[in-house]
Amino acid sequence: MHYLSIEGVAEGVLATLMGDPPTVKGLEAHETYYYLLGFDKDVWIRWINPNTMIKTSWQAYWRHLGGWEDDPEYNPFYEDENYRITGFLWTDYVHGRVHPEIFFMYDTEGVWFTMASVKYSKDGRLFYKLTQISVWGNPGAIDGIVDGATTDFSQPFDLLPVSEISFRVGYNW
Q: What three-state secondary structure class fits 29?
A: coil
Q: Which residues in the chain come in under a pLDDT of 70?
A: 1-6, 16-30, 67-80, 138-160
Where does 4-125 show beta strands of DSSP type E? Answer: 8-18, 31-43, 54-65, 81-90, 98-107, 111-120
List the domain range (segments joined by +) for residue 113: 2-171
Whole-prediction pTM: 0.74
Tens-place pLDDT, residues 130-152? 999 988 876 654 444 444 445 56
Burial call 76-111: b when 16+ CB within 10 Å, e when fewer: eebbbebebebebbebbeeeeeebbbbbebbbebbb
The total number of structural domains in the chain stands at: 1
